[in-house]
Amino acid sequence: MQKFLSDATEFFPILLQGVGLTVVVTLGSLVLSTILGMVWALMRVSGFRVASAISAGLINLIRGIPIIVMLFYLYFVMPDFGITLSALQAAILGLGIAYSAYQAENFRAGIEAIDKGQVEAAQAIGMGWWLTMRRVILPQAFRIVLPPYGNIMIMMLKDSSQASTITVAELALQGKLIASSTFKNTSVFTLVALMYLTMSIPLILLVRHFEKRAGHK
């Protein structure tokens, strides 16, 4: 235990730099996936067959491609088409696109959970489709999707470690570099696991809070 504490004191400042990039990747891809996911979901429930079919096709395509392949394609292949992204940009874009499919299904489920009678009532008083969505459906759907949205956030935090495969020096890669140079695998990766856990626990508690609130309604 004393040896671990000594190693932790030595390695913690270096790993903390990786934590910063982990947070940046997670938040950046969360924002992007939320925006894209909402767009896909609204297209899916729009009632327009072409828009719905395009959205369904995109969602299935994205869900069928592993995240690591998405990252490799953006970082290594896109330069062949004249689009060069930094490792950090590719990581945020790749994770954001990959998770937009799951966000879209989450948002769609929340929207479709709202009673159809409310839509009919809104249309009866002259509200258009977009106004009905903005004022009637989305505020209620937002409360429904919060617990699964929190779970997606936790998954994104953990999957941000895949950014290490395209040289983003986040927490997992920093740990790997330290372990390969010091051979102190047990101390390093135990510390890495504890740091991921420290970041995940507040999110887990937040999700549990939302689930309890939803259960009381």
Query: Radius of gyration (Cα) for the chain, nearest Å?
Result: 21
> pLDDT tens track of the chain, all 217 residues?
778 888 788 888 889 989 999 999 999 999 999 999 999 999 999 888 999 999 999 999 999 999 999 999 999 999 999 999 999 999 999 999 999 999 999 999 999 888 888 878 887 888 887 888 888 888 888 888 888 898 999 999 999 999 999 988 789 989 999 999 888 889 999 999 999 999 999 988 888 887 777 665 5
Residue 216: predicted pLDDT: 56
Contact between residue 55 and residue 43 where contact means Cβ atoms under 8 Å apart:
yes
Residue 217: predicted pLDDT: 56
Nearest-angstrom CA–CA distance, 172 and 15: 9
Nearest-angstrom CA–CA distance, 92 and 17: 17
Nearest-angstrom CA–CA distance, 213 and 143: 9
What does the angle CA 133 – CA 138 – CA 142 come to, to the nearest 5 degrees?
170
